[in-house]
Chain A
């Protein structure tokens, strides 16, 4: 089996998950909720990095993941910023602005990893030649023939 190209996952992404988990625990215990939110987002994006780790090409995927994290973080900061506790509500498409950011921002943003997976499926996630080689070497059905 040919060695796969080195990805950015491996030890670094796994260690990032370990460290971010510790940081998340600390933030939750100290009740630093906004920081906890950013750490959670970083953790979710690190998990994506682990999953896409060997799906190269490395840089475009890495840049997309960083962009996902930055957009999520900006939305989270905007929700915290626009959160109103009193006064007349400023409604946007039927919701108070902070809730609108959740409904029309955070919610649809969750589709981006699925779209990325779809777009790079044949070129990176599951390349035909590598799958065929794997199945020829280890596939049960091929060996049964």
Chain B
């Protein structure tokens, strides 16, 4: 990874870390109960909700992996980032109102709480918490590793030291301020990302000589690369579009934010605004990868050791230093905003959801234990990141697809379809976990069960949806009559 030697870049990154810590101190003073810690006391306004949801979805994968994917396979990965406009609207339409209404009638602090209210019994809650925990461990590991890599590049320190600094700040504001700190750092981080993205888009086009010139260079290199499907082909592009549009509704770190909204009527602009804000971030995803590849093809830039270096190399060599500083801070922001959301839902799964499912009650002193578990999750993720990189990579790939396949049927469809049953919920979650693991693992060992190009997560999502609908249909035709009156009413408003 290239090393940033500019004091301006270092200054920006340090200033960013200090600002996050400051927000942590402020949030700590506002966190007095478990509801404050997990759902910010249901006090969020519409702008904070929009930016926090967007920041949670745009992780390090988007800021580093996205340009890397474009650099490597051209237009294929644009189908991922372009799906977000549709995906965010789906989130608002399918689950926004339902989750807000449920939270207005009961103490719903987590997604498994909502699932338990909808289906009753312990198994749906347990399976949902398990799926979330498995996804969180993997996703968190990749985010932790990414934080370390960025700080290694900027501060020129060893990975363990970089992890200590980055995770120290993350631990401080997440443990002290819970989700209050999480969403308000998300707000700050999201604005930083948008500014960074717009500026980088301008410089990327300028460095490449304009979009037409970039396209012409890439066409000369390989016409497939810059055509609509990219070099990975149509099945990959289309399955990614499905997985990332519909799967958006199943990302717990984003949809849990609906439980935090102060007033349900403030949902109105969110579907459009979140998609719009994310579209601005997509400009960075698209432009860096295409521009860098054109620069390499023209011999202006030497070949990269890895596609993931496209973004860092571009930032250090083709934009002004002050902007590179802001973008590096934005990059760190993208990673940390996702990580803090995962910490929050992971801690909730351990302290609240699994104990309620297994023992029938939550642990005593939930707030204290949530803070302890948040810290423990960070330490475990750091150990995984340092010593079990292969496992992290597997679980990281597994993350989005598992969340999508496990959560979309039970939450997105289940909260809108009264005949959906607890059996359908439990079986579809179990199938999605097993299938995702089995297919990812076999692909890593060179065994391709699916046609080449089909995204594993998209396949699992389709299986899980079919299982959910048909198991629900055949198991309990009278499910509708078992719904609690408030849940039934929340599904009818």
| Chain A residues near B (Cβ < 8 Å) | 1, 3-4, 9-11, 13-15, 17-18, 21-22, 24-25, 28-31, 33-34, 36-37, 40, 43-44, 47-48, 50-54, 79-80, 83-87, 89, 91, 93-96, 98-99, 101-103, 106-111, 113-115, 117-118, 121-122, 125-126, 130-131, 134-135, 137-141
Partner of B226, one of A4, A99, A121: A99
Are B82 and A3 closer than 8 Å at their CB atoms? Answer: no
A101 to B94, CA, bound (A): 28
Interface of B is mostly: helix
For the complex, count residues of B whose C-beta is within 8 A of A. Answer: 85
Contact (A99, B228) CB under 8 Å given A54-B492, A89-B216:
yes
9 A-B pairs whose Cβ atoms sit less than 8 Å apart in the complex: A25-B459, A28-B458, A36-B238, A43-B465, A51-B93, A91-B216, A99-B215, A102-B228, A121-B268
Are A102 and B78 closer than 8 Å at their CB atoms? Answer: yes
Contact (A126, B264) CB under 8 Å given A113-B271, A138-B105:
yes
B418 — nearest CB in chain A belongs to which residue? A10
Kindly provide the distance from the CB of A109 to the nearest chain B CB, expressed in whole angstroms: 8
A89 to B225, CA, bound (A): 12
Are A43 and B234 closer than 8 Å at their CB atoms? Answer: no
Contact (A89, B90) CB under 8 Å given A34-B234, A50-B417:
no
Are B246 and A43 closer than 8 Å at their CB atoms? Answer: yes
A80 to B165, CA, bound (A): 49
Kindly provide the distance from the CB of B228 to the nearest chain A CB, expressed in whole angstroms: 4
B272 — nearest CB in chain A belongs to which residue? A114
Are A134 and B215 closer than 8 Å at their CB atoms? Answer: no
Q: Which residues of A contact B271 (CB under 8 A)?
A: 113-114, 117-118
| Chain B residues near A (Cβ < 8 Å) | 75, 78-79, 82-90, 92-94, 97, 101, 104-107, 210-212, 214-216, 219, 223-224, 226-229, 233-235, 238-239, 241-242, 245-246, 249, 264-265, 267-269, 271-272, 275-276, 279, 282, 412-413, 416-420, 450-451, 453-454, 458-459, 462-463, 465-466, 468-470, 472-473, 485-486, 488-493
